[in-house]
Structure 1
């Protein structure tokens, strides 16, 4: 089984700009990269790419997509010169189509900030080939769980799967004043998510059902008015099919957030 990790990637380029409210994120991602075997390839499912069906980057030398606005000029000069993995992308497209999940290769789109920002922290040498996989319009939880199941049947143990989203993603709340009621809502959903991903007393069928119906969790739509930042987690669980091995709870932008690791046994 491949190593699998869901990360909360923070606000745009802020983790690379020394923003104090992202220091725990930087520390956690740095630690994470030392707790898993260095992969030979990485596939990232980012919250910042949605398409009519699954698309996967296919370039040998992917560029970057600076998909954020209003940040310092230095934010648009970041480089992450990793190689792509065209053959791996082709294998995944073939497997997804065979499973009746429409998938195509993407020849032009660069890696967005949900990819290059965390990878710059985790693997700053950019010496690991990387491809990006899109979410699918409609944001159907069950479909994204199935995509993960196909991935795990496709990938070797030396491939790292990263679901790059954010366990809390209410943009208005990030910029509102601290409020005990809102903090409790944030924490209630986090508690539910941690239990769902790590609870050993939950059957896998129940775990999958909880994720399929995530919007029934406490304050789900407060924490995720739109679910694109949560669905990379569904792909991760679909690939893992079991409780995670480690939970990382942290503060990002003064909100409670979490990350989850499913690690290869024996490392």
Structure 2
């Protein structure tokens, strides 16, 4: 079975305990998709120069955030790993002469488990986390994703978890969407739907408000978009499934890439 790839904005860690239109959407998305045999997540909260892959059969739940309600630090997402798929990822990287690093004992950061908590609350599907490198160009990030495209045709769900507009210094006091955030996402969305990689790969120079939407200290959050997009290079179709702006600027969106349900 072929599954689409997804880009999912994981928002604030508070998403784990919230009930909103977005969490309801994520719950329904998990119900709508055929059950994958494994989930591979490129996560913005694992940023390192060498592509790294979790190899564990059992994952810890990382509470890699500070200053939140104490109950959030008790949340567990006890998904298991899947070494067979992890080894296949490493083999695909090796086949493309891409250096990689198998990692044991890392655990799942909140970029992985927060959205999955709503999509697959029973944590019954094996999960493999893969790092991103925010210093690589979007073209390179896309090309790394493309190396894993065949996994989608073997009932593996590939997710990029991050955020398109994720400037925490620009959050507003209310939820009225800010024009500059909308304009950036609209520019991005038009080119995603056109699969216009020539302009997308230069979003930092061409997109309106790019430096505000994607500040230099937060480039790791848009990176998973390109990794996920690359895994659908053969079909080159993109569809936005959800969009909202809590705090006026924090872009919560979900994109589906490639053929599938």
Please say whether Structure 1 and Structure 2 have the same fold, judged by a TM-score greater than 0.5: yes
Report whether the alignment pairs 1:53 with 2:50: yes
The residue number in structure 2 matching 1:209 is 198
What SS does the corresponding residue of 1:169 show, helix, strand or coil?
Answer: coil
Displacement of 1:263 after TM fit? 5.7
Q: Could you list the per-position Cα deviations for residues 61-118 of structure 1 after superposition, in whole angstroms to 9, with x for gaps in the alignment?
A: 0111111001111111111111101111111111112212211211021100001111
The residue number in structure 2 matching 1:183 is 178
The residue number in structure 2 matching 1:261 is 256
**Cα RMSD over matched residues?**
2.0
1:232 is aligned, of 201, 217, 224, to: 224
What SS does the corresponding residue of 1:80 show, helix, strand or coil?
Answer: coil
Displacement of 1:179 after TM fit? 11
Give runs of aligned pairs for residues 156-195 of structure 1, distance below 5 A: 156-174=153-171, 176-177=172-173, 183-195=178-190
Report whether the alignment pairs 1:196 with 2:188: no
What SS does the corresponding residue of 1:240 show, helix, strand or coil?
Answer: coil
Q: Residues 98 and 87 (structure 1 numbering): CA distance in 2 closer, same or farther, change over 3 Å?
A: same
The residue number in structure 2 matching 1:220 is 210
Q: Is the 8 A contact 1:4 1:162 kept in 2?
A: yes
Give runs of aligned pairs for residues 19-34 of structure 1, distance below 5 A: 23-34=20-31
Q: Is the 8 A contact 2:167 2:213 kept in 1?
A: yes
The residue number in structure 2 matching 1:145 is 142
The residue number in structure 2 matching 1:248 is 242
The residue number in structure 2 matching 1:8 is 9
Report whether the alignment pairs 1:35 with 2:32: yes
CA distance in 1 between partners of 2:16 and 2:83 (Å): 28
The residue number in structure 2 matching 1:129 is 126
Q: Is the 8 A contact 1:57 1:131 kept in 2?
A: yes
Q: Could you list the per-position Cα deviations for residues 220-255 of structure 1 after superposition, in whole angstroms to 9, with x for gaps in the alignment?
A: 111110321111010111111212144312233333
CA distance in 1 between partners of 2:82 and 2:153 (Å): 14
Structure 2 gaps of 5+ residues are: none
Q: Is the 8 A contact 1:2 1:152 kept in 2?
A: no
Structure 1 gaps of 5+ residues are: none
CA distance in 2 between partners of 1:64 and 1:158 (Å): 25
Q: Is the 8 A contact 1:25 1:252 kept in 2?
A: no
Relative to the length of structure 1, the TM-score reads 0.88
Q: Residues 211 and 100 (structure 1 numbering): CA distance in 2 closer, same or farther, change over 3 Å?
A: farther
